[in-house]
Amino acid sequence: MPHPDDQVEATSPGWVASEESRPDSFAARRRIAEATPEERRCESRDLLRGRLFAATLVMAVGLATLVIRDLFFPRFLRQSVVHAATLAWLTLLLLALWSRLRLDFGRLRGIEVLAFGSVVACLVASQSLGFHGHLSRQTLDAAELRVLFKASIIGVLILIFTYTIFIPNSARRAAAFIVPMAFSPLVAPLLLGLTVPAFRQVSEEARTLDKLVENSLYLLLGAATAIYGASVINACRGDADDARRLSQYRLKEKLGSGGMGEVYYAVHRLLKRPCAIKLIREDLVRRPNILARFELEVRATAKLSHWNTVEIYDYGRDVDGSLFYVMEYLPGLSLQELVQRHGPLPAARVIYLMRQACDALHEAHRAGLVHRDLKPPNIFAAYRGARYDVTKLLDFGLVKPIKGGDSPLITKEGMVTGSPLYMAPEQVSRSAPIDGRTDLYALGAVAYFCLTGQPPFVDSNSMAVMIAQVRDPAKPPSEIRQGIPADLEEVVLRCLEKEPDARYQDADSLGRALEACRDARGWSPEDAEAWWLANQPLEDPERPSAPHAPSPGVPTEELTRAEASGVTLQAAAVEDRASPERRG
C-alpha cells in the first residue's frame, strides 16, 4: 500500500526518484529529453508555412487596395498593371500555401523569396513608372521627386517590418534579406539617372546634402531596427517554445483548473502520445502537506492497473520547481458534465457506468486504498480502446491507506476532508473507521445524482449538507424523478445507509447487486456508441474540447468552492450540530 515513507520507483526513463523519498522532500531529478532535430525541423516548417501564409495575405490585401485605387485615379493606370500582376502572383502563392501540398523547408524558403522579392520588384517598377509618367507630362520637378522618393521609402519600410514581424528568422538571415530591401528605393533613380538626361537634371536639383543624409538615415535606421527586432522576436519565440515544454512533453492547450492547480493537454515529444498533465500551483509547492498529498496520489494511482482507473505515465518536478504528473488523455465527459449537458441518465446506463466503477474500486480496496473523494467530476465517461462509456476514476488526491493511517502531514487531528455533497457520514463525524464502504456511500450518491440530476442532499451551506449526511435519510430517487426502477432504487438507497454495516460490504457485492437489476442488460457498448455519435461527437484527440476540465458544481459559490478544494471543517462542530442530544 502506498505510504508517504515508501520508496518510489521512477515511472519513466526521464525521471529518477531520490533514494529516500519523504512527504516533505519531493526530490525527483530531471533528465531532459531534448527534441530531436527532425522534430524541431517539423515544428519550424509548420511555423514558417503559417507565417508565410499570413504575410503573403497581408501583402495581397495591400496590393488589392492599390489596384482599387488605380481604377479611380487615371494617373496611376501605368502602375495598375504591375500591381494587378503582382497580386495575381501572390494569389497563386497563397493557394500553394493553403493547399495540402507537402512543402519542405527549402521550398517554403523559396516561396518566401518569391513572395517578398516580387513585392520589392513591384515597388521598384511602380516607382520607375511613376517617374516616367511625370516626365512624360513634364510635371517632374525637384519637389515632386522628393515626394515620390519619400513615398518609396515608406513603402519599403512597411515591407521590411512586415517581413520582420511575420517571418521567423535569425538576425543574420534577416539582415541578408532586409539590407537589399532597404536599398531597393535607390534602384530606379540610379537607372533613370544613367539613361534619361531629363531625370538626371531634375535629380541633381533635388539632391541636396541634407535630404541625402535624411533619406539615408531613414533607410539605415529602419533596416537596423528591423534586424534587431528579428533577433529579439526569434529569442522570444525560443523562450515561448521552452515554456510550452515540460520534460518530454509539449503543452498544447489548457483544459481546466481547480483548487490544486491546472490541467493541460499535452503530447509526448518523441512518442507523439496525447496525455493530460496536472500542474500543482506554485504557491502550494512549498507546503509539506500538499507535497505529501501529491506524492501519495501519484503513487497510489500508479500502483493500480485496472482498466477503469486513470493511468499515470510520469511525474516529477520541473526545473522551475513546478510539480506535475502525467496521465492518460481521456476524450469524453465527466459524469457532472454529462448530466448537466444532457440531463439525468437512463437507469440502464447508470448501472453500466457504476458497475465499471465497482470493478475499479474492487482493485483499489484490495490494494488497501480508499478514494475518499468520489463525486461526478472525478468519474469520467471516456472513449478508450474503440469503446464509448468507459468509466474512469480520477483524482486520487485524498486517497487513504486502510492500514497504517494517514501521514500527520496530510490529515490533521479533528479535521475532515472531502466533498460535502458526496461525503459519507463517518467522514464527517468520525463515528466509524473510513474504509471501502465509505467509497460505496459516495458511489451511491453519484448514482443518485446520475438518476435524478441532483445529489441526495442539497443546501446553500456546506455545513448544513454535512449535517444532513450524518442525520437525515435520503429521499428515494423516484420521488424526484419518475421511472426509476424499484430494484435500482433499493440498491442506491442501501449504499446511502448511515451505518457502514448496513451498506454493501465491498465493491464486488455492489457490482453483483447492480448486475442483478432488471435493467442491467439494457445498455450495451453499441448503445453507448450510438448515443455518443448522435449527441456528443468527440473531436480528434489532437484538438481537445474540454476533457479533464473541472465541471461546474452545485450552483452555489460556497459548495462549488468546497468541491474544488476539498472542504476542511472542524469535525467537533459538525458532531455538535448533528447530534440531537447536543442540540437539546
Give the list of residues 6+ apart from residue 439 with CB closer than 8 angstroms, or none. 361, 364, 365, 370, 371, 372, 374, 507
**CA separation, residue 383 to residues 59, 309, 339 (Å):** 45, 13, 17
Residues 165 and 256 in one domain: no
Name residues whose C-beta falls within 8 Å of residue 66's C-beta, 6 or more positions apart in sequence.
Answer: 79, 83
Which residues contact residue 451 at a Cβ distance below 8 angstroms, ignoring those fewer than 6 apart?
344, 345, 347, 350, 477, 481, 484, 488, 492
Element (H, E) at 38: helix 37-72
Out of 284, 299, 328, pick the residue that ends a domain: 328
Q: Considering just the CA atoms, what is the radius of gyration of the chain in Å? A: 34
Last residue of a domain, which of 243, 260, 291?
243
Give pLDDT tens digits for 170-188: 888 889 889 988 888 888 7
Number of H helices and number of E strands within the chain? Answer: 21, 15
Q: Rounded distance, CA 404 to CA 157, Å?
A: 73
412-434: b (≥16 Cβ within 10 Å) or e? eeeebbbbbbbbbbbbbbbebeb
Lowest mean pLDDT among 40-44, 65-69, 383-387, 458-462: 40-44
Same domain for 519 and 413:
yes
User: Do 466 and 527 share a domain, yes or no?
Assistant: yes
pLDDT given at position 584: 38
Using CA atoms, how far apart are residues 466 and 459, in angstroms rounded to an integer? 10
pLDDT of residue 202: 64
Which range is least confidently modeled, 23-37, 139-153, 322-336, 417-431? 23-37
pLDDT, tens digit, for every residue of 85-132?
999 999 999 999 999 888 888 899 999 999 999 999 998 888 888 776
226 and 346 belong to one structural domain: no
Residue that the C-alpha cell 495540402 belongs to: 100
The residue that leads in pLDDT, 33 or 160, is 160
- How much is the mean pLDDT over the chain? 77
Q: Which of 506, 437, 401, 309 lies closest to 1, judged by CA?
A: 401
* 9 inside domain: no
**pLDDT tens digits for 287-334?**
777 777 777 767 777 788 899 998 888 887 766 667 788 888 989 999
DSSP class per residue in 327-383: EE---EEEHHHHHHHH-SPPHHHHHHHHHHHHHHHHHHHHTTEE-----GGGEEEEE
Asked if 325 and 373 touch (Cβ cutoff 8 Å), the reply is no
- Is the same domain home to 199 and 62? yes
Verify that 21 and 65 share a domain, yes or no: no
What's the mean pLDDT in 212-241?
78
pLDDT of residue 207: 62
Task: Please state, for a pLDDT cut of 70, what percent of the chain lies above it.
Answer: 71
427 domain-assigned = yes
Whether residue 373 lies inside any domain: the answer is: yes
CA 298 – CA 66 distance, rounded (Å) = 62
Claim to verify: residue 142 and residue 208 sit in the same structural domain: yes
Report the candidate in 420, 428, 360, 421 with the shortest Cα–Cα distance to residue 396.
360
343/312 same-domain check: no
Residue 365 · residue 436 · CB < 8 Å: yes
> With contact defined as beta carbons under 8 Å apart, do 481 and 339 qualify?
no
Q: What confidence tens digit (pLDDT) does each residue in 525-582 have?
A: 999 999 999 997 776 544 444 444 433 333 333 333 334 334 434 344 444 444 444 3
Same domain, 174 and 205: yes
| Residue type (1 letter), 188 | A
* pLDDT at residue 489 in the model: 96
Integer Cα distance of 531 and 537 in angstroms? 9
pLDDT class of 134 with cuts at 50, 70, 90: low
Q: Which 8-state DSSP code applies to residue 408?
A: T
Domain span holding position 515: 332-535+552-583
**Binding-site residue set for ATP:** 278
Q: What percent of the chain has pLDDT over 90?
A: 36
> Are residue 57 and residue 26 in the same domain, yes or no?
no
Note the pLDDT tens digit of each residue in 450-505.
Answer: 999 999 999 888 899 999 999 999 999 999 999 999 999 999 999 999 999 999 99
The two beta strands, 387-393 and 369-370, are unpaired
Whether residue 2 is contained in a domain is answered as no
Co-location of 125 and 158 in the same domain: yes
- Whole-angstrom distance, CA of residue 88 vs CA of residue 21: 66
Assigned domain for 540 exists: no
Residue 202 lies in a domain: yes
* CA gap 122, 185 in Å, rounded: 11
The confidence band for 13, taking pLDDT boundaries of 50, 70 and 90, is very low
HSE value, Cβ hemisphere, 13 Å, CA-based, for 301: 26
Tell me, yes or no, whether 6 lies in a domain. no
- The domain that contains 497 carries what CATH number? 1.10.510.10
Cα distances (angstroms) measured from residue 171 to each of 164, 230, 565, 579: 10, 6, 48, 75
pLDDT band at 139 (very low <50, low <70, confident <90, very high): low
Residue 10 in domain: no
Which residue in 574, 576, 571, 559 sits closest to 422, CA to CA?
559
Residue ranges of the annotated binding site are: 278
CATH classification at residue 302? 3.30.200.20
Note the pLDDT of residue 350.
97
pLDDT band per the 50, 70, 90 thresholds, residue 240: low
Over residues 61-75, the pLDDT tens digits come to: 999 999 998 888 877
pLDDT value of position 388 = 94
Q: Which amino acid is at 552?
A: P
Q: How many domains does the chain have?
A: 3
One-letter amino acid for residue 436 of the chain: G
Beta carbons of 274 and 40 less than 8 angstroms apart: no
Torsion of CA 412, 413, 414, 415, to 10 degrees: 20
For residue 397, give the DSSP letter.
Answer: T
Look at strands 323-328 and 332-334 and give their pairing: unpaired
Higher pLDDT, 583 or 51: 51
Instruction: Determine how β-strand 415-418 pairs with β-strand 567-570.
Output: antiparallel
**For the chain, what's the residue count?**
584
Beta bridge partners of 568: 417
Comparison of pLDDT for 191 and 103, the residue scoring more: 103
Least confident of 27-31, 133-137, 206-210: 27-31
> Please, what is the end-to-end C-alpha distance for the chain in angstroms?
44
Same domain, 463 and 510: yes
Res 345 pLDDT > 90: yes
Residues catalogued as catalytic: 373
Point out the domain boundary residue: 296, 328, 360. 328
Antiparallel, parallel or unpaired: β 400-401 and 379-384: unpaired
Instruction: Give the separation between CA 511 and CA 378, rounded to whole angstroms.
Output: 19
pLDDT exceeds 60 at position 196 = yes
Phi, psi torsion values for 455, nearest 5 degrees: -70, 170
Output 547 or 506, whichever has higher pLDDT. 506
